[in-house]
């Protein structure tokens, strides 16, 4: 410990923030590679989307080709919306899990500083 304890605490805080920033970047990178699926009510259309909502794959069961064009379009849109909704929920839960330890640590530090 130096003769400037405030400076030591500030340096420790900066190091902790740097480590948290690296961890957050790693986790967000892993999240970006995940996909979610959505299936239409008919079960004949499957769509995959990334966590930012981009559609990466559409799979049509051959039986879906029996639909009229409007019904097929409606099934595809339904599956796309579900995939994007599922991807958004996945992102939301991942970010919540990432930030929850940060907020808990902040609460603990505040408590320790106050007592």
Considering only residues 52 and 109, tell me which one the structure prediction assigns the higher pLDDT: 52
Q: What is the C-alpha to C-alpha distance for residues 93 and 86, in angstroms, rounded to an integer?
A: 11
Q: Which domains does the chain have, with CATH numbers?
A: 35-114 (3.30.1310.10)
Q: What is the pLDDT of residue 111?
A: 46
Arithmetic mean of pLDDT over the chain: 84
Q: What is the C-alpha to C-alpha distance for residues 54 and 57, in angstroms, rounded to an integer?
A: 9
- pLDDT of residue 76 exceeding 70: yes
Q: What is the pLDDT of residue 89?
A: 92
Q: What percent of the chain has pLDDT above 70?
A: 85
Instruction: Name the pLDDT band for 2 (thresholds 50, 70, 90).
Output: low
The residue-averaged pLDDT of 58-67 equals 97
How many alpha carbons fall within 13 Å on the CB side of residue 4?
5
Q: Is 34 helix (H, G, I), strand (E, B) or coil?
A: coil
**Dihedral in degrees, nearest 10, Cα atoms 91, 96, 98, 101:** -170
Cβ-based neighbour number of residue 82 at 10 Å = 20
Instruction: Name the pLDDT band for 101 (thresholds 50, 70, 90).
Output: low
Considering only residues 2 and 84, tell me which one the structure prediction assigns the higher pLDDT: 84
In 1-115, alpha helices (H): 5-32, 69-114
């Amino acid at each position: 410990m130096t003769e400037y304890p405030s400076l030591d605490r500030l340096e420790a805080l900066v190091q902790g923030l740097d480590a948290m920033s690296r961890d957050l970047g790693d986790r967000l990178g892993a999240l970006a590679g995940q996909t979610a699926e959505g299936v239409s009510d008919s079960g004949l259309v499957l769509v995959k989307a990334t966590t930012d909502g981009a559609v990466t794959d559409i799979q049509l069961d051959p039986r879906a080709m029996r639909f009229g064009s409007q019904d097929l379009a409606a099934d595809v849109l339904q599956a796309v919306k579900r995939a994007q909704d599922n991807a958004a929920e996945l992102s939301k839960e991942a970010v919540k899990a990432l930030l929850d330890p940060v907020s808990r640590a902040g609460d603990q530090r505040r408590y320790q500083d106050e007592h």
